[in-house]
Amino acid sequence: MEKPDWHNPARAMQFEAILFDCDGVLVDSETITNTVLCAMLNESGWPISAAECLETFIGKTVRSETARIEAHTGRPLTDAWMADFYERRNVQLRANLVAIDGALEAVQAVHGQLQGRIAVASGADRFKVEMQLTQVGMAPYFTGRVFSGHETPRSKPFPDVYLAAAAALGVAPERCLVIEDSVPGIQAGIAAGATVWGYCPEPVLHATPQMLQDAGVVRVMRSMAELPGLVSPP
């Protein structure tokens, strides 16, 4: 029997599981979080612009950039500073967070198509991810299937969080589809062995379709509403 080519775009609709990034894919949180982070870095002595902040931190944890932050601020990145960041971030998310257009309907549809074999694999902390999913009505579709890069040995761009999600679903990474919007996330999905599709809304927030393709995605979606029509079980 011929072995399926899971990375061939012509067969890209056939997967056994879908692993979603969260921020920028399911919830419209990137600008909210970046605004808080940018303000706090400026308060700490790093005169960074909003655009530079987004480019520097998108798809990464704040702590993964500790050395860079300390070099620019001239002070240690303390637990107290991080706790303040989380609190200020969460206040703004609770007040302003909405789902990405079409994402809730897409999640509902593929949850049914794949008999529940979907998961969230995020570089963010678990509290944030679960709070956001609850706030936009997606939590019931990911019960017990939320994975945080804070709980793996390495976060994105390393593959650990995607490997953990695939293992928990009992699906080989090669038969998983990853949906990502950032270059570090794409690198993580590819390193895990999955097929990666990029989500790039209009207007572009931080990465163009060409940037996503150059990072290795085999398809770029401009709307999350496209997803259910592109996916079916193998």
- CATH no. for residue 177? 3.40.50.1000
What are the DSSP calls for 163-177, one per residue? HHHHHHHT--GGGEE
Residue 6 within a domain? no
Residue 128 within a domain? yes
Q: Which of 50-64, 71-85, 164-178 has the lowest mean pLDDT?
A: 50-64
Of the pLDDT bands very low, low, confident and very high (cuts 50, 70, 90), residue 76 is very high
110 and 187, same domain (yes or no): yes
Q: Give mean pLDDT, residues 177-188.
A: 96
The tokens describing 16, both together, are 């056994």
Residue 106 within a domain? yes
190 and 114, same domain (yes or no): yes
Residue 140 within a domain? yes
211 and 147, same domain (yes or no): yes
Residue 225 within a domain? yes
The residues near 127 (Cβ < 8 Å, ≥ 6 apart) are: 86, 90
The tokens describing 135, both together, are 């706030």
Q: Which residue among 96, 117, 138 closes a domain? A: 96
20 and 45, same domain (yes or no): no
Q: What are phi and psi of 24, to 5 degrees?
A: 85, -10
CB 100 within 8 A of CB 201: yes
Q: Has residue 179 got a pLDDT over 70?
A: yes
76 and 138, same domain (yes or no): no
Number of domains within the chain = 2
Q: Give mean pLDDT, residues 63-87.
A: 96
Q: Which residue among 45, 73, 96 closes a domain? A: 96
Q: Has residue 127 got a pLDDT over 90?
A: yes
Residue in the structure block whose two tokens are 């509902």 = 108
195 and 168, same domain (yes or no): yes
Q: Has residue 200 got a pLDDT over 80?
A: yes
Of the pLDDT bands very low, low, confident and very high (cuts 50, 70, 90), residue 14 is confident
Residue 83 within a domain? yes
Residue 3 within a domain? no
225 and 111, same domain (yes or no): yes
Q: Strand pairing partners for 61?
A: none
61 and 119, same domain (yes or no): no
The tokens describing 121, both together, are 């694999």
Q: Which residue among 80, 96, 112 closes a domain? A: 96
Q: Has residue 159 got a pLDDT over 90?
A: yes
Give residue 127's domain range: 13-28+99-230
Of the pLDDT bands very low, low, confident and very high (cuts 50, 70, 90), residue 233 is low
78 and 190, same domain (yes or no): no
20 and 59, same domain (yes or no): no
pLDDT digits (tens, 9 = 90+) for 21-41: 999 999 999 999 999 999 999
Q: Has residue 186 got a pLDDT over 60?
A: yes
170 and 219, same domain (yes or no): yes
72 and 170, same domain (yes or no): no
- CATH no. for residue 35? 1.10.150
